[in-house]
Amino acid sequence: MKLFLITGIISSVVAVLTGCETTSDIAAVRNFEPERYMGTWYEIVRLPQYFERDLDEVKAKYTLNDDGTIKVVNSGVKNGQPQSITGTAKLKDPDAKPLTGELRVSFFWPFYSDYRVIELAPDYSYAVVTGGSRDYLWVLARKPTMDQAQLDGILERAKANGFEITNLEYPKPAPEKPSK
């Protein structure tokens, strides 16, 4: 998983240095409620990233810490072996009124990357997330699968925002844990 982390950092630095098209023109969601965002999210689709190559059953668990930071545990399965990495996220501007879905996330201190929620279902059942450039795109959901018509609409909006959706990867879904 160290390779996962180091490669992600290198990719971010390369994107900045090579002038990749940023996502700064795409507004993050407003009225973001961090407490509602906490919990498990399943990765439905993504733009390919070296650090996620051949990773299936991908999910992320977010937990709000007492100090206002967020514990992030990303996990998946690669070649039949469980993989995970733990990081920390924080709101980019915790004093903004209203709060926006702009965070900074680190899996290797002191390096932080952009984490921007650009679309969020009113009931927090799905989220569309990008990084600092249009090379990063993830569609996340509270369940391991998503209605195809709903996903198609999300991807059309992503395309309209300049994301290259022809190269998307669809990881094998993670099994959903039964409700208690």
Per the CB < 8 A criterion, the answer to whether 108 and 9 are in contact is yes
Tens digit of pLDDT at every position of the chain (180 positions):
443 434 444 444 444 433 446 557 899 999 999 999 999 999 999 999 988 999 999 999 999 999 999 999 999 999 999 999 999 999 999 999 999 999 999 998 888 999 999 999 999 999 999 998 899 999 999 999 999 999 999 999 999 999 999 999 999 997 777 655
Contacts of 110 (CB under 8 A, 6+ apart): none
Per the CB < 8 A criterion, the answer to whether 144 and 173 are in contact is yes
Q: What's the CA gap between 140 and 75, in Å, rounded?
A: 13
In the chain, the domains with their CATH numbers are: 2-167 (2.40.128.20)
Task: State the pTM of this model.
Answer: 0.85
Per the CB < 8 A criterion, the answer to whether 104 and 89 are in contact is yes
Q: If we measure between CA atoms, which residue out of 114, 112, 113 comes closest to residue 102?
A: 114
